[in-house]
Amino acid sequence: MGSSVNLNQIGTLMQRQDVQYHKDAIADLLKRNSTNFPGAQPVSFARKHLLELQKNDYFLCEKTDGIRCLLYLTQIFQGAQDPIEAQFLIDRKNDYYYIAQGYLHIPQVNKRGNDPPFDIHSFHNGTLLDGELVRQRFPDGREQLTYLIFDCMLLCGENITEKRYDSRIGSLKQFVFEPWKAFARAWPDEAKVQPFQLGLKEWQVSYVADFMFDQIIPKLPHGNDGLIFTCKSTPYVTGTDQHILKWKPPHENTVDFRLQLGAFPKFKDGMGNTQEDYDQKPEMELLVFHGGNNYKHFAPLFVTQVEWTAMKGMGQKLDWRIIECYRDNTTGQWRPKIEPDGTPRFRDDKQHANHYTVVESVIESIEDGVTEQDLFASKDKIRSAWKEREKRAREMRTARPSS
């Protein structure tokens, strides 16, 4: 599903030297020394995390099968004119895609009152959102590209990464999503021609996994490949965040490897010379990332003859691309995740394969094998612990002397 979204069809890929100013601006606002991709990454859900859900409050949402990217709302100058609204999508390779001027308008909240709740003449400058682009398909046959937002790092130049998650999503809803939604209702023709619509991830409490599987996921208009648990009280963390938990069914946990093609089978031609047969399956090795430009062998990749034929039929370079794989629970072999058209899922949106520590986390998740039933069985304990924390918080507020 995620591969059906092509960022080149939404925006213009900018040359790196042309966006260095914006990279520096984001780094300065976030108080970072690096201009690398600033997004957070989850860890795979393991059995130990069932206890973590009892210890701390987590929000729960479905894991969308789309393209992860940041949305940077800013301004640019053209000559001596006043600044104009500008937006960039930023993928995990830290590439910037400029959205053509005039096609996307995200107004600020109306600071003079609630009628209307947005200021049509305003726009965001210095706002950085985290979300996922996904193609949604509805029962009436309608299709829609939607940017589903699940976090906010910068808000009109203010760094809010140190705030709690529940505070960040509260600000996101009040100052970004609700004004845009009101604008889209008031100006439907303008909203309709935007390159994508905005959506807000729907969060639940952490003890309703059964509700998610029974009521939410079956009705989604887009692909889903698991659940995400996010701690409600922790700050935003660039890189691996131990408090964002990615759950997938054990047999669907995947790793993004670097694919390396090896030797092809050999044959003797009519002259008796040994040749490589490029129509046959070559040796295929999966490599994991060890930092810098260092990759190390992890395991061979097993593909069927039908899959290899589909790979050849793509007419694309295969060697050294990022490929998403799963471990077959019967044979233990690593296999490519296959798209509906029969081709492997290549992760060209990523600059590097998974780091070896991420691979170790995924394997731990696979071997722990936390199932839907395990989540259901932990529901009462998680709920009781949540309610007890709520009770203690109420008692502390009641006991606090009034000023």
214 and 321 within one domain = no
One-letter identity of residue 306: V
pLDDT band at residue 1 using 50, 70 and 90 as cut-offs: very low
With respect to residue 73, please indicate whether it lies within any of the assigned structural domains. yes
Domain boundary among 197, 215, 249: 249
Overall number of domains in the chain: 2
pLDDT for residue 393 is more than 50: yes
Q: Do 186 and 259 fall into the same domain?
A: no
Q: Mean of the pLDDT values across residues 379-400?
A: 93
228 and 287 in a common domain: no
Torsion of CA 122, 123, 127, 130, to 10 degrees: 130
Same domain, 355 and 245: no
Q: Of 63, 163, 232, 281, which is the active-site residue?
A: 63
Q: Are residue 153 and residue 121 in the same domain, yes or no?
A: yes
Q: With bands split at pLDDT 50, 70 and 90, how would you rate the model's confidence at 220?
A: very high
Flag whether 385 is in a domain: no
Any domain includes 377: no
Q: Answer with the one of 206, 230, 249 that is the final residue of a domain.
A: 249
* 3-class DSSP assignment, residue 340: coil
* pLDDT tens by residue, 97-153: 999 998 999 999 999 887 899 999 999 999 999 999 999 999 999 999 999 999 999
Domain range holding 54? 7-249
What is the rounded CA–CA span in Å between residue 63 and residue 246? 8
Mean pLDDT of the chain, nearest integer: 94
pLDDT at 285: 98
Same domain, 293 and 352: yes
Is the domain of 192 the same as that of 165?
yes
- 305-345 pLDDT, tens digit per residue, is 999 999 999 999 999 999 999 999 889 999 999 998 999 99
CATH number at residue 109: 3.30.470.30
Whether residue 87 lies inside any domain: the answer is yes
CATH number at residue 308: 2.40.50.140
Tell me, yes or no, if 379 is annotated catalytic: no
Which of 249, 283, 312 is at the close of a domain? 249
Q: Cα 273 to the chain's mean position, in Å? A: 50
My answer on whether 238 and 256 are in the same domain is no
What one-letter code names the amino acid at 14?
Answer: M
Measured N-to-C along each axis, helices 48-55 and 379-399 cross at an angle, to the nearest 10 degrees, of 20
23 and 78 in a single domain? The answer is yes
Strand partners, 131: 69, 149
Return the SS3 of 342.
Answer: coil
CA 132: distance to chain centroid? 5
Residue 403 binned pLDDT confidence (cut-offs 50, 70, 90): low
What contacts 248, CB < 8 A, 6 or more positions away?
A: 44, 45, 63, 225, 226, 227, 254, 365
389 assigned to some structural domain: no
